[in-house]
Amino acid sequence: MTTPIAGITRESLRRSAPKANGWHEAGFVIGSRQIGAGGVQPLRGSVAGPGWEPAGSLEGWLDASGVLAEPGCEAHALVLLAGFGAPLLHLCGWQAAVLSLAGVSGAGKTLAARAALSIYADPNVLARQASSGDMLDESDFAAVRHLPLLLDETTGIRPERLAAFVYVATNGHGHGSRGALPPWQTIALLTSNRPLLDNRIAVVAEAHRRRVIELYFPAAMSAEAGERLAQVQHHFGHAGETYLREVCARRAELAEVLRAARETVQLQFRLPDAQRFALWTLAAALVGGEIARALKLHQIDVAATIALAGEKLRQDAAVTLPAPVLAGRLIHDWLAENDYRIARWAARTPATEADYLPSKPVGRNFGRIIAVRCRSITNMLKEHGLGPQALHEWLGRSGTESARRKLIIAPNQRQEWVYCIDAEKLSDAFTR
């Protein structure tokens, strides 16, 4: 069962949401309210648009969202816990993974996501329906900063656009506009009938995949449960006030609690450091979920729900490629992700005639050959648990120009050791 989302434009979200949403020294701002340990105060001179002020009652919200504590709703329950976890990320400076909700129509994916949004405000002001052609962008994230957002009904969206969305959501800043917009740390949700991670790795690259937690919803939710859960749209904002008052009261201690939770999750499920986005997300959901349960805002078994997600991540991480093949895919993804850090400066060309010179280059593009600092490649592979042998085996197998030599990659710099990689052969080797 699904609930239609009222269409709102990007401009209406920006007008409705004051720029101050999220954490401040005195507390947490939602709309025209500032929530602190001592209570809720109106912000002087701030007028929020429709949907930012609480509606209905806390009792009504508890009754509607109580469906998620029932057997068979474990994936839905994790979504609600992630909603509680979203504001905690900022306390550690973490970025969350995108939570991708995939599965059959009528499974309650959208309803679960809207329940998470309703903790803080009307779900309509924190959601966008992708099927209408309106995607969330960096300005939307900057407008809400530490509140969760939903991109709904993405089945018809090209996977390349969704991959770009994953980067925007998890980087915390817009491409090419660093510093121009307020940074954000939050949890983005997206729903689709088609799993995002089912796309080819050449389309949704390894770097994207490590920023996504995908939950699959295989069966339809009962009509009775769906109708009950849909009532959160009439009872929103009250749970967030109760929850954030407690978070504000414990704000000084929560960073340490979150880091301990991250270590617990990592040790329990033996997840590599490369899964840091997922680790941060689960740690925030674990801590936020436990705080909310202590406040009687839900009856979900938090540890069991987190365990289901952690076990799935562990199984996904265990499905590994041979080390040399994985090294090649990681290099391919890393070069795509760091293209803006590669100088475009042809051989025997004065620096004044270079096509592009980044401020802190890690490599140099000569046209077909890309020279990349050896330590940049080896450090990246080390983060993923791979050593020099995997790199050298892959370079040998792929037929790329693998010479290790000294070159100048930027003006006014000394020669340094680089790997020279043939970009065309790299692509050919990747798709074999």
Residue 76 CA to residue 63 CA, distance in Å, equals: 15
Q: Are strands 98-103 and 39-42 parallel, antiparallel or unpaired?
A: unpaired
pLDDT for res 331: 85
Place of tokens 């939602």: 30
DSSP states of 111-168: HHHHHHHHTTS-GGGGEEEGGGT----HHHHHHHTTS-EEEE--TTS-HHHHHHHHHH
Residue 310 CA to residue 312 CA, distance in Å, equals: 5
User: What are the tens digits of pLDDT across the range 206-247?
Assistant: 778 889 999 999 999 999 999 999 999 999 999 999 999 999
Residue 11 CA to residue 9 CA, distance in Å, equals: 5
Report residue 28 as tokens.
Answer: 């947490």
User: What are the tens digits of pLDDT across the range 273-285?
Assistant: 888 999 999 999 9
Confidence band, pLDDT 50/70/90 cuts, at residue 402: low
Q: How many CA atoms lie within 13 A of 233 on its CB side?
A: 20
User: Quick check: 361 and 343 in contact, CB under 8 A?
Assistant: yes
pLDDT average, residue stretch 84-92: 97
Domains with residue ranges and CATH for the chain: 10-318 (3.40.50), 323-430 (no CATH)
